[in-house]
């Protein structure tokens, strides 16, 4: 396991029929912070806290899902007004999150959109509305309404976070009665059987090549509009906010490659 990886452990709670996922997110949060530092991305503290919680929640969620599944969450908050994007890919063991506060239209209630891709199956999307100021509460509402099973999120401490999700025949009364205090004695109160250990790291997967492929078709149509006489342009990744500098020369070469491939098909 690399220094930037974190380990998520999942357990089965015998007698309660629930899945417990837990991790120390200090390394993941640090990697997310350094990524934002590299690109000068700053938010108000309350918005940053939403992003941290989204990153933790999507990681714990992925750790309980099939190995070949990827998911993406778009979460719109009315107050603080912010849009969050969080994604995880079990194929690569990567997770990421981004928050945007600019150009966000006012909304009366929160919206949670979840997209799921698994192998060759068609992409699935679900959407639920919520009224909550807490990211974890928003995810719990998503589980209740979309996943059709309850889930709870708790902080053991600031960066040690626990998710407990119902399985068939779960003791729902017990699950809904859990408190932050009872989480601290979970190991003593329950018979927990270790199921898996999975590693995750913060990574969007965007790079120069992907940005060239993305922009090249636009470049073919309106090169001058893109560059405006400059020798290069800066493209911001819509997923993680990373900025990539693309030169006119590189886009000309990539456009020619794409044209050659189209002719050969």
Contact 25, 179 (CB under 8 A): no
User: What average pLDDT does range 209-224 have in this prediction?
Assistant: 85
pLDDT at position 104, please?
Answer: 85
| Lowest model confidence (mean pLDDT) among 118-122, 209-213, 242-246 | 118-122
3-48 confidence digits (pLDDT tens): 568 999 999 999 999 999 999 999 999 999 999 999 999 888 889 9
Residue 263 confidence (pLDDT) above 80 = no
* 12: exposed, middle or buried (Cβ count in 10 Å: 0-12, 13-18, 19+): middle
Q: What's the token pair of residue 257?
A: 């490659």
Rg (CA), the chain: 21
186-211 confidence digits (pLDDT tens): 999 999 999 999 999 999 988 888 88
Please report which helix (H) or strand (E) contains residue 183, including its range: helix 180-183
Residue 51 confidence (pLDDT) above 60 = yes
What is the rounded CA–CA span in Å between residue 142 and residue 149? 9
What are the residue boundaries of the structural domains of the chain, listed by start? 6-202, 208-264
pLDDT at position 4, please?
Answer: 61
CATH 3.55.30.10 fits 6-202, yes or no: yes
Residue 2 confidence (pLDDT) above 80 = no
Higher pLDDT, 127 or 241: 127
Topology match between the domains 6-202 and 208-264: no
Mean residue pLDDT of the chain comes to: 92
User: What average pLDDT does range 228-256 have in this prediction?
Assistant: 87
CA 150 to chain centre: 20
Q: What is the pTM (predicted TM-score) of this model? A: 0.90
What separation in angstroms does the CA of 4 have from each of 25, 28, 95, 199?
10, 6, 12, 10
pLDDT at position 222, please?
Answer: 83
Question: Residues for the chain: how many in total?
Answer: 265
pLDDT at position 3, please?
Answer: 59
CATH 3.90.1280.10 fits 208-264, yes or no: yes
Q: What's the token pair of residue 219?
A: 């470049």
pLDDT at position 214, please?
Answer: 84
59-96 confidence digits (pLDDT tens): 999 999 999 999 999 999 999 999 999 999 999 999 99
Residue 1 confidence (pLDDT) above 60 = no
3-state secondary structure of 24: strand
């Amino acid at each position: 396991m690399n220094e930037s990886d974190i380990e998520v452990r999942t357990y089965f709670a015998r007698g309660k029929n629930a899945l417990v996922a837990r991790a120390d997110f200090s390394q993941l949060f640090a990697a997310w912070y350094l990524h934002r530092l590299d690109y000068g991305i700053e938010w108000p503290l309350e918005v940053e806290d939403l992003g941290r919680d989204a990153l933790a929640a999507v990681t714990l969620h992925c750790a309980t899902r099939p190995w070949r599944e990827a998911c993406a969450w778009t979460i719109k908050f009315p107050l603080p007004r912010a849009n969050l994007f969080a994604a995880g890919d079990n194929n690569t063991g990567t997770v990421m999150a981004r928050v945007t506060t600019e150009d966000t239209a006012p909304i009366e209630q929160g919206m949670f959109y979840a997209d799921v891709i698994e192998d060759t199956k068609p992409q699935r999307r679900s959407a639920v509305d919520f009224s909550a100021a807490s990211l974890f509460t928003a995810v719990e509402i998503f589980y209740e309404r979309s996943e059709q099973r309850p889930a709870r999120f708790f902080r053991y401490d600031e960066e040690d976070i626990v998710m407990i999700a119902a399985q068939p025949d779960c003791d729902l009364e017990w699950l809904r009665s859990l408190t932050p205090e009872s989480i601290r004695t979970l190991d003593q109160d329950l018979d927990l059987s270790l199921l898996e250990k999975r590693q995750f790291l913060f990574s969007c997967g965007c790079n120069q090549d992907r940005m060239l492929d993305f922009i090249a078709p636009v470049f073919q149509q309106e090169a001058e509009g893109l560059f405006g006489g400059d020798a290069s342009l800066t493209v911001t990744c819509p997923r993680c906010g990373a900025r990539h500098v693309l030169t006119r020369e590189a886009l000309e070469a990539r456009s020619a490659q794409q044209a050659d491939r189209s002719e050969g098909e």
